[in-house]
Amino acid sequence: MAVQGNILTAFAAGALGASGILVSLLRNPTWSRRILGHRNQIEEVSTLHPDYKPGDKQPSPFTSDKYLALNPAELGDAMYPFMISAVVPRPVAFVSSLSKNGAGNLSPYSYFNAMSHDPPMVVIGHSYSSAKKDTGGKKDTLANILETGEFVVNIMNEWYVEAANFTCGPYDRGINEMTLSGLTPMESVKVKPPRVKESAVHFECKLVHSYEIKNHTGKATGMIVVGEVLLAHMHEEVATKSPHSGHDVVDLKKYSPVSRLGGVSYGRTTEYYNIPRPPKEEQKTPKTASEADEKARL
């Protein structure tokens, strides 16, 4: 009996010790994410100034009025680090395309966004690369899109970010980054390039417009492509109904969207706050600048 009791006590102490370790691990954001996975890692918080009234001055963290002016005509290509660090966070289009001969390609593009919904249109900015001599600088994705007029934008989710990032290497045209990275192709419905099965949302697109970018010396440095979404797909496990419209929307708590920051940094969305749009009546009570200044002094 005594032996059994000792075993039970040791077991209980072990369990308590283990649960203590688990609790401390869960308090560490990295480990908590590893243990709990990608779900429910986003929480609603309040804005910095929830008591703001229209016309109130909002305090800034700056101690001077100095701004550095960056002139693209002088800086040229050196604008790149500034642009990608300033316009953040950017969503990432993980673009699947095929050459006219059917060779697959997959690469991330963060000069990307959706610009409309009826019909949905997406834009992607392709920078020319000096390494791509055969195509006049066009990277494989762009060369494919221009050849076939089709592509698929997969939204990047955190659970496969390592493989997705791996696809951005300077691989030769004809090398299929889908295979190389271990990601899984999934047949599309309206276009030939495959979707990425690991991604929660896919947009099957057709090219509707391309615009070549020329710099101040007249050199072509890139191309913006506009694509129309022919069919969108949302994995059922990230789907929910909008509390406002009742329509199908993505549940942010299950989505883990990856954003691009400056340099080689990615961003994780862990907090959000809601701010309702102001009603039209707000236009009836304009505050003069002096009233707002007076309030700021009080």
The footprint of ligand FMN on residues 118-147 (CB under 6 A) is 125-127, 139-141
**Which is nearer to ligand FMN, 224 or 239 (by Cβ)?**
224
- Burial class of residue 115 (count of CB atoms within 10 Å of its CB; 0-12, 13-18, 19+): exposed
Q: Which is nearer to ligand FMN, 264 or 275 (CB)?
A: 264
Part of the chain binding ligand FMN (CB under 6 A), chosen from 41-49, 164-172, 195-203, 205-213: 164-172
How big is the CA angle at 82 (ends 81 and 87), to the nearest 5 degrees?
110
Q: Which is nearer to ligand FMN, 65 or 172 (CB)?
A: 172
Using CB under 6 A, pick the residue from 41, 42, 96, 110 that binds ligand FMN.
110
Answer for the pair 76, 216: CB distance below 8 angstroms, yes or no.
yes
From 23-31, 163-171, 199-207, 225-233, give the range in contact with ligand FMN by CB under 6 A: 163-171
Residue 122, H or E segment: strand 120-127
Question: What residues between 250 and 289 interact with ligand FMN by CB under 6 A?
Answer: 260
What element of type H or E holds 233? Answer: strand 220-234
- Binding of ligand FMN by 181 (CB under 6 A): no
Reading phi first (left if > 0) and then psi (alpha if -120 to 50, else beta), residue 147 is in alpha
Q: Which is nearer to ligand FMN, 45 or 94 (CB)?
A: 94
Residue with tokens 């990432």: 92
The residue among 126 and 195 lying less far from ligand FMN, judged by its C-beta, is 126
- Considering only 29, 54, 81, 170, the residue that binds ligand FMN (CB under 6 A) is 170
Q: Which of 41, 42, 98, 111 binds ligand FMN (CB under 6 A)?
A: 111
Stretch that binds ligand FMN, among 10-18, 63-71, 107-115, 284-292 (CB under 6 A): 107-115
Q: Total number of residues binding ligand FMN (CB under 6 A)?
A: 17
Min CB(131)–ligand FMN separation in Å: 9
Task: Find out whether 186 and 199 touch, Cβ atoms under 8 Å.
Answer: no
Among 41, 107, 154, 181, binds ligand FMN (CB under 6 A): 107
Using CA atoms, how far residue 119 sits from 139, 150, 158, 228, 249, in Å, is 27, 16, 28, 7, 16
CA 154 – CA 268 distance, rounded (Å): 17
| CB contact at 8 A, 191 and 152 | yes
**The dihedral formed by the CA atoms of 154, 159, 164 and 165, expressed in degrees to the nearest 10:** 130
Which residues of this chain interact with ligand FMN, rule CB under 6 A?
A: 92, 105, 107-111, 125-127, 139-141, 165, 168, 170, 260
